[in-house]
Structure 1
Amino acid sequence: MKSMLEALYCGEFRPEEKIVPKDREFRRIRREISEARGMWKGKLSTDNFNQLEALLDLHRQTESMQATSSFVNGFQLGALMMMEVYVAKEELLFGLR
């Protein structure tokens, strides 16, 4: 079995794909979005609807970029906290400063 780091490097581990809110409100909103898209598909010409879809795709791309940045930032903060904990351990155990 590969380590998490190997899987991450090889593109086999994609944390953002596993994150799905369990909140019922999330599911309700997703359903409303789907229904609204269906309504707009019926109202707009094919060309106009394709333009709307392209706009929504751009929006999804920015959301993905923001989620990636948040994940990286959170991971970095967590690692920095672990470094601080490790330094404190050395100070506590060996009286180092």
Structure 2
Amino acid sequence: MRTILEALYHGQLQPNMTIVPSHPEYLSACKQVTAETQQWRERLGEEVFRALEEYLDLYDSVNSMYVEAAFHHGFKLGANLLIETMSPRQ
């Protein structure tokens, strides 16, 4: 079995590809989003809906950047906590 560092180095560790929220309402919310997306497509027509999708893609991109920054911050905070915990008290 490989270490976490080896798996990360070899591109085998991709937590963003395996995370599935455990919130009990997650799957039903996903189904509702899919159904409502189809309803909006029918109401708006293809051209307007395509413009809306471009806007939503931009919003998702901004949100992804924020989530990535939050992940980095949390990871660094955790690493610093470990360093502080393992360092001799001064």
TM range (shorter): 0.7 to 0.9
Whether the aligned pair in 2 keeps the contact of 1:16 and 1:68 (CA below 8 Å) is no
Aligned alpha-carbon RMSD (Å):
1.9
Whether the aligned pair in 2 keeps the contact of 1:40 and 1:49 (CA below 8 Å) is yes
Offset at 1:30? 1.6
* Residues in 2 aligned to 1:53 and 1:39: alpha-carbon distance in whole angstroms: 14
Going from structure 1 to structure 2, the CA distance change for 1:51 and 1:9 (only over 3 Å counts) comes to: farther
Which of the pair has the greater relative contact order for Cα pairs under 8 Å at 6+ separation? Answer: 1
Which aligned runs of 4 or more in structure 1 are off by greater than 4 angstroms? Answer: none
* Residues in 2 aligned to 1:81 and 1:26: alpha-carbon distance in whole angstroms: 31
1:59 corresponding residue in structure 2 = 59
Unpaired segments of 5 or more residues in structure 2? none
The number of equivalent residue pairs is 90
Q: How much identity, in percent, do the aligned residues show?
A: 32
1:22 corresponding residue in structure 2 = 22
Unpaired segments of 5 or more residues in structure 1? 92-96
TM-score by structure 2 length?
0.80
Task: Pick the structure with greater CA Rg.
Answer: 1
TM-score by structure 1 length?
0.75
